Amino acid sequence: MPESPTSPGAPFSWRELSTRHDGVTLRLLDVAAEAPGASEVLAALSVEEQARAARFRSEADRLRFALTRAALRSLLGAATGRAPEALVLTMGPHGKPCLANADGPFFNVSHSGSLGLIGISRQRPIGVDIEWTRDISDMHGIAEAYFSAREHRALVALAPGEQKRAFFAIWTGKEALLKALGTGIGEGLQEFSVAPKAEAYSVLPETQSFARRLAGASLERLEVPENYAAAFALV
């Protein structure tokens, strides 16, 4: 992945992903390509974030969290004109991180495999999701349990060779939308359907409540390395 640091204080190996939406920045961080000293990364984190990093049992998970959070702070610092380490992050009712004492910007984070995805949006709440498209032994059982009936039907109608790709396209689209709403995937998974197209999705509410919540929502696929799927949503 090409290196494109945005400032001397942001030595991250990240790539900007393109979007047609003004005021939206999407960055893909390759954790495996990063080699800064752990202490350098940890120094950018708050005391709570450092404690959380220390609780990860796997070194790879610790580094992925710490690097993504440090990269997020760097981007938010650039967006707000404040020092990255001075930013105070807090959480919404379902755990979605947001900036304390600030009108924005909105942001969201996802990580999977060796990649971290960060989305920053000036005007509307954003949700992002990236998944390593690993083999899942019970893919159909998961789709039946968590997808809407419409999505499940669309998945099983595909040729077997196309199903894994479609499964992750649907999964990342649903999760990005629910993360934009801030609820996470704890509720609402079957209250709307997504249908992946080449670059974007059609979004179809299945309930009155989601018709209201998703009015004006936009959901797009992101071009990420092979073996990954990713999407971002604005609500």
Ligand X SMILES: CC(C)(COP(=O)(O)OP(=O)(O)OC[C@H]1O[C@@H](n2cnc3c(N)ncnc32)[C@H](O)[C@@H]1OP(=O)(O)O)[C@@H](O)C(=O)NCCC(=O)NCCS
- Residues forming the site for ligand X (CB under 6 A): 65, 68-69, 94-97, 108-111, 127, 129, 175, 179, 182-186
Is 174:189 a contact under the CB 8 Å cutoff? yes
Radius of gyration over alpha carbons of the chain, in Å? 18
Ramachandran bin of 44, using left for φ above 0, alpha for ψ from -120 to 50, beta for the remaining angles: alpha
Query: Following DSSP, what letter does each residue of 138-157 receive, concatenated?
Result: THHHHHHHHS-HHHHHHHHT
A 10 A CB-CB count for 133 gives: 19
Shortest Cβ distance from residue 157 to ligand X (Å)? Answer: 26
- Cβ proximity to ligand X, 24 vs 158, nearer residue: 24
- Minimum distance of ligand X from residue 160's CB (angstroms): 25
Q: By Cβ distance, which residue is nearest to ligand X?
A: 184
C-beta closer to ligand X: residue 10 or 229: 229
172-204 b/e (C-beta count within 10 Å ≥ 16 → b): bbbbbbbbbbbbeeeebbbbbbbbbeeebbebe
CA distance 217 to 103: 20
Nearer to ligand X, 145 or 157 (CB): 145
| CB nearer ligand X, residue 22 or residue 48 | 48
Helix, strand, coil shares of the chain, percent, nearest 5, are 40, 25, 35
CA dihedral 214, 220, 222, 223 (to 10 degrees): 160
The residue among 66 and 203 lying less far from ligand X, judged by its C-beta, is 66
Question: Least separation, in Å, of the C-beta of 228 and ligand X?
Answer: 12
**Closest distance between ligand X and the C-beta of residue 80, in Å?**
17
C-beta of 35: minimal distance to ligand X in Å?
20
Closest separation in Å from C-beta 161 to ligand X: 25
Q: Would you say 92 or 153 has its CB closer to ligand X? A: 92
